[in-house]
């Protein structure tokens, strides 16, 4: 069923909710650490500059809000929680340098990052070498919790197989089985192409794929090639600013009148950055703000708007969940030891105020992948209810059903 009814994210109600939360924040008590007691430190690496910055900024904002909440409730084991943020600049070498600095010089207890899947994989390996719990909020390439899974690495966002599996059926039903895909030429894009290929060929479909640099901005030659292929749908697998540029040029070439538009992810930050003509097609959302009747969602949406004057996106949710997950694991383990934290997180179910979804959300013990609901649906121009109502849920897909553990290739092993 199409979900279009607004759940209180119109301008007036958002401002009312944000005002109430702002007042509560002022009145709430803050931690007064015991004399000499060291804070708990989380090191967060994300590409705050570069082509993926629009997603990274939202992730960090969600993480900062979680830190505020946790400290107002007493911190972690009575200790203040601090978030140390470093910019990977969308570069693997820089990301590795920053994660080493956070661990070796800043002495963080837990690490997180990166939106860029290649960087996420590289820095997770550093964390494994150092024996530090690492959480990937938003890097999607499958091996992280698949064939390259590690005892200390957990992931909040979906794998590409999960997102592709959630939306492929809708794309075939609406547009057909002849696709032209444009994918970023790095770890995420290669995983995504393979995932779509798996589902499309299983359904008897055909495709052509072109890889483009992650920072691409001119798609003229590629779109000419796509038009000559005469697909029924163009799949925009690019991310961040590159995805926005491709969506705009797709419309400028008039191709929106010749074929459909699709993606595994067309994130809220990107949808709001393109003209109405490009606000179209089918995609999946890893979290969506309009969930009428689901407890705590409305409060989270209002809080994010109140703090940052922007709509709550899946990226805000990813950063928020990552930090709260670390705190929950530490409280459960009563320790900041990496191995103890990992055992505490494995199989851990998120409470409703963190999960912000109607069904059970948990970290699967066998691969450390978060198992949520995936929102598959239609992108469209804003409704009259809200300028942020640009997506309608057509299907809610169980993450564990679309990606069985046996299909991941993960064989989890813990240190002796």
User: What distance in Å separates the CA atoms of residue 72 and residue 94, rounded to the nearest whole number?
Assistant: 33
Give me the CATH topology for the region 11-158+289-372. Answer: Rossmann fold (3.40.50)
Per-residue pLDDT for 21 more than 50? no
Per-residue pLDDT tens digits for 74-111? 999 999 999 999 999 999 999 999 999 999 999 999 99
- DSSP conformational letter for 351: P
Can you tell me the distance from the alpha carbon of 342 to that of 401, in angstroms, rounded to the nearest whole number?
24
- pLDDT, tens digit, 9 for 90 and up, residues 342-384: 999 999 999 999 999 999 999 999 999 999 999 999 999 998 9
The better pLDDT of the pair 21, 33 is held by: 33
CA dihedral 381, 209, 371, 398 (to 10 degrees): 70
Whole-number Cα distances in Å, 106 to 84, 98, 154? 9, 10, 22
Q: Report which of 314, 311, 302, 319 is spatially closest to residue 85, judged by C-alpha positions.
A: 319
SS (H, E, C) 207-268: EEEEEECCCCCCCHHHHHHHHHHCCCEEEECCCHHHHHHHHHHHHHCCHHHCCEEEEEECCH
Q: Where are the domains of the chain?
A: 11-158+289-372, 161-285
Residue-level pLDDT at 37 = 79
Q: pLDDT tier at 416 (50, 70, 90 boundaries)?
A: confident
| pLDDT mean across residues, the chain | 92
Cβ neighbors of 254 (< 8 A, separation 6 or more) are none
CATH no. of 161-285: 3.40.50.2300
CA distance linking residue 153 with residue 338, whole number of Å? 10
Neighbouring C-beta atoms of residue 209, cutoff 10 Å:
18
Which residue(s) pair with 235 in the sheet?
181, 262
Q: Residue 14 pLDDT > 50, yes or no?
A: no
**If you compute the radius of gyration of the chain from its CA atoms, what whole number of angstroms results?**
21
The pLDDT tens digits of the residues spanning 289-306 come to: 999 999 999 999 999 999
The reported pTM is 0.92
User: Which residues is 40 bridged to in the sheet?
Assistant: 81
pLDDT digits (tens, 9 = 90+) for 33-84: 544 579 999 999 999 999 999 999 999 999 999 999 999 999 999 999 999 9
> Taking 60 as the threshold, does the pLDDT of residue 116 lie above it?
yes
Q: Do domains 11-158+289-372 and 161-285 have the same CATH topology?
A: yes
């Amino acid at each position: 069923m199409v979900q279009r009814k607004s759940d209180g994210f119109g301008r007036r109600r958002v401002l009312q909710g944000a005002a109430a939360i702002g007042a509560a924040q002022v009145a709430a008590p803050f931690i007064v650490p015991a004399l000499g007691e060291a804070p708990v430190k989380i090191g967060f690496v994300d590409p705050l500059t570069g082509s993926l910055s629009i997603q990274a900024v939202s992730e960090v904002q969600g993480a900062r809000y979680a830190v505020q909440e946790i400290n107002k409730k007493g911190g972690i084991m009575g200790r203040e929680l601090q978030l140390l943020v470093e910019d990977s600049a969308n570069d693997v070498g820089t990301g590795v340098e920053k994660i080493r600095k956070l661990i070796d010089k800043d002495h963080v207890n837990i690490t997180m990052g990166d939106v860029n899947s290649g960087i996420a994989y590289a820095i997770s390996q550093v964390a494994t070498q150092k024996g530090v719990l690492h959480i990937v909020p938003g890097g999607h390439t499958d091996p992280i919790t698949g064939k390259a899974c590690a005892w200390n690495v957990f992931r909040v966002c979906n794998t590409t197989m999960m997102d592709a599996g959630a939306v492929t059926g809708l794309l075939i039903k609406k547009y057909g089985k002849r696709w032209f895909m444009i994918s970023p030429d790095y770890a995420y894009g290669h995983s995504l192409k393979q995932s779509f290929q798996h589902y499309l060929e299983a359904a008897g479909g055909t495709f052509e794929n072109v890889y483009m640099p992650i920072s691409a901005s001119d798609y003229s030659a590629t779109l000419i090639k796509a038009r000559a292929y005469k697909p029924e749908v163009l799949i925009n697998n690019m991310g961040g600013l590159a995805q926005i540029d491709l969506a705009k040029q797709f419309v400028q070439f008039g191709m929106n009148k010749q074929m459909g538009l699709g993606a595994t992810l067309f994130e809220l930050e990107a949808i709001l950055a393109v003209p109405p003509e490009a606000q179209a097609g089918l995609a999946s959302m890893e979290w969506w703000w309009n969930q009428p009747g689901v407890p705590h969602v409305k409060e989270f949406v209002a809080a994010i708007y109140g703090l940052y004057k922007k709509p709550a996106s899946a990226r805000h949710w990813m950063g928020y969940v990552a930090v709260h997950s670390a705190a929950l694991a530490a409280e459960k383990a009563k320790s900041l030891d990496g191995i103890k934290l990992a055992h505490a997180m494995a199989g851990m179910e998120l409470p409703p105020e963190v999960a912000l979804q109607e069904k059970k959300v948990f970290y699967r013990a066998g691969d450390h992948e978060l198992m949520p609901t995936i929102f598959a649906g239609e992108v469209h121009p804003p409704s009259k209810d809200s300028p942020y109502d640009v997506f309608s849920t057509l299907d809610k897909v169980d993450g564990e059903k679309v990606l069985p553990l046996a299909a991941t290739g993960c064989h989890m092993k813990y240190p002796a």
